[in-house]
Amino acid sequence: MIVVGNSNVACLDGVGARLVVQETPADVSWVGALRFRHFYDGHPAGPRVRERFRFGTSGDPRPRLLAIGTHDIFDVGAAVDAGTVEAAIQDLSTRASRFFAEFGAAAVEWGGPVGWIVFPQPSTALAFQRLSPDEVLAMATKVNQHLSELARAHRVMVIDAFDQLGGARVDPGYLQRDAQHLNARGAARLVAAIAGRFNLSAELMVDRAAGAEPEDELGSFCAMLLHAANIAPAPLVDPTLAVETAVEERLREKGLAGSVAVTSDLELVDSGLFDSLDLVDVYTEATRAVGLDIPFDVSLRDLGTPRAFAATIAAHFETPSRADFEVSLAAARRRIPPSAADQAHDRIARLPPERIEAFVEQLRVTLHGVGCPYGAVLMWLGLFARARGDHATAMRHFEAAARVPIPVPIEVASHVASPVGLNGRRTREGRSHVGRRSPLASG
C-alpha cells in the first residue's frame, strides 16, 4: 500500500507506529500542507505526490491512499472572512474534480484501487473572524461531503473512519497532545477502516512507546521533518546488549542455554548454532529492544556474529539522534538553560550531508513560497550552515530564528550563535562578539 498526503499521514508511519498491510510495511510519505491546487499551480508538492504514487507506470496493483483536504478547508474558512467564499468553493471544486478524475483513471493503469482519506478536521487549529469552532466543523462537513461526491464520481473510494462526512466531532482520546493529529489509538481505528474498505489484512505495528508524542504545532512539524530526514531516535538499550540478550534467549529456546558462551565474536552461522529463521528471530528481537523500526534491507547471513549484528543496528542511530533535537527544542521552550543544549547542538551540526539534503528538500517542498515560521528549524539550519563554514548564512538563520511567528528566545538564539559571531570572529575566550550591537540582541 502507498499512502501519500498532508501531515495526517504521520500517524501511519511515525511516533513509534507503522502501518503494515499484508505483512508488508506500507510506503507512507508526508509531502507537506497539501492542497488540490498544488497539482496544477507549479507547487513542488504536486509532482512529489505523482512521483510517490508512480503516475505514468502500470502493473503495480498496490492500493493507493491520498490524504488531502484539511488545508483546503482552512482556505475556505479564510475565504469566508474575506467575503470570497463562493469563488473559493468553485476553484476547489474544479481542481478537486480534475485531480480525482486523474487519480481514478490512473487506477486502471495500476490495476489496483485508490482512495481518499477523510481525516478529522481540527476545528480549533485556526481562528476565523466570522466562524466559531462549531461553524468551522459544519463548514468542514459540507466541504468534505462535496469532495466525497467528486471522488466517488471518479471511482475513488472514500475512507471515513470518524464519520466526518456526518459532521461528528472526533473524540479527543483519538488525538495527540497537539489536538490536531491522530495518536496510536486513533491511527489503529483508521487502519481498521482501511482494512475493511479494501478487504485486506492491515495492522498498526507499535515499535516504541508513544512518549514522544508531539504536544503542539511546533513539535508536530519538527517530528515529521526529522522523520522525513530519517533521523532515528536514540536506542532504548545498548545495541550490543540487545543482540547478546536475543542470542541467549534463542539458545535457551533451542535447549543450549549454558552450553555456549555468548561473546561478541561468537560465530552464529558457521558454527551451526543458528539457521536463517534463528537469525531473523534474533534480529527482530534486538531491533525491537533498541526501539528501531525493523529494517530488513540486510543479508543476515553476512553478519555472522553478535558484534556484526550490533554494528548493523547501531548504524541506524547515527549522530545526532532525535533525542538531540528534543533537547534543542527544550532549550527553545525555555525549559532548560541554553548551555544545557550545547552538546546536542554540537551533534546536530554534524548531521551527515545526505540527511541535511533530505531535511532541506522536505522543508523546501513543505514551505514552498512561504518563509519558515519555526525558529527552532531556522536555528538548526544555522548549525548546518556553520558546520560547512558558511558563517554569513548561519548568522542570517540565527537572527531570523528569534523573529519568526514561533520564535526561539533571543537568549537561546544568541547563545547558539555565539561560537560564530557576526563575522565568524571569536574573542580570546573563544566567545564571539554577540551583544548589544548584535542584530540578535536588537530583535
pLDDT, one tens digit for every residue, the chain (443 residues): 999 999 999 889 876 678 889 888 889 999 989 999 999 999 999 999 999 999 988 888 999 999 999 999 999 999 999 999 999 999 999 999 999 999 999 999 999 999 999 998 876 667 788 888 888 889 999 999 999 999 999 999 999 999 999 988 899 999 888 888 888 889 999 999 999 999 999 998 876 544 467 778 888 899 888 888 888 776 778 889 999 999 999 998 988 877 888 898 999 888 888 888 888 888 888 888 887 766 666 777 788 899 998 888 887 776 788 889 999 999 999 999 999 999 999 999 999 898 999 999 999 999 998 899 999 999 999 999 999 999 999 999 999 999 999 999 999 999 999 864 433 444 333 343 333 333 343 33
Q: How far apart are CA 332 and CA 219, in angstroms?
A: 11
Packing angle of the helix pair 375-387, 410-417 (nearest 10 deg):
10
Residue 159: closest CA among 188, 193, 113, 203: 193
- 163: phi > 0 → left, psi -120 to 50 → alpha, else beta; which? left
The per-residue DSSP string of 250-286 comes to: HHHHTT-TTTS---TT--SSTTSS--HHHHHHHHHHH
Radius of gyration of the chain from its Cα atoms, rounded to whole angstroms: 24
Q: Is the dihedral of CA 299, 304, 310, 315 positive or negative?
A: negative
Q: How far apart are CA 113 and CA 286, in angstroms?
A: 36
Contact 207, 291 (CB under 8 A): yes
Q: How far apart are CA 333 and CA 345, in angstroms?
A: 15
According to DSSP, the β-strands at 27-30 and 2-5 are parallel
Q: How far apart are CA 9 and CA 211, in angstroms?
A: 19
Q: How far apart are CA 362 and CA 334, in angstroms?
A: 27
- Beta strands (DSSP E) in 118-211 are 157-159, 202-206
C-alpha cell at 77: 474558512
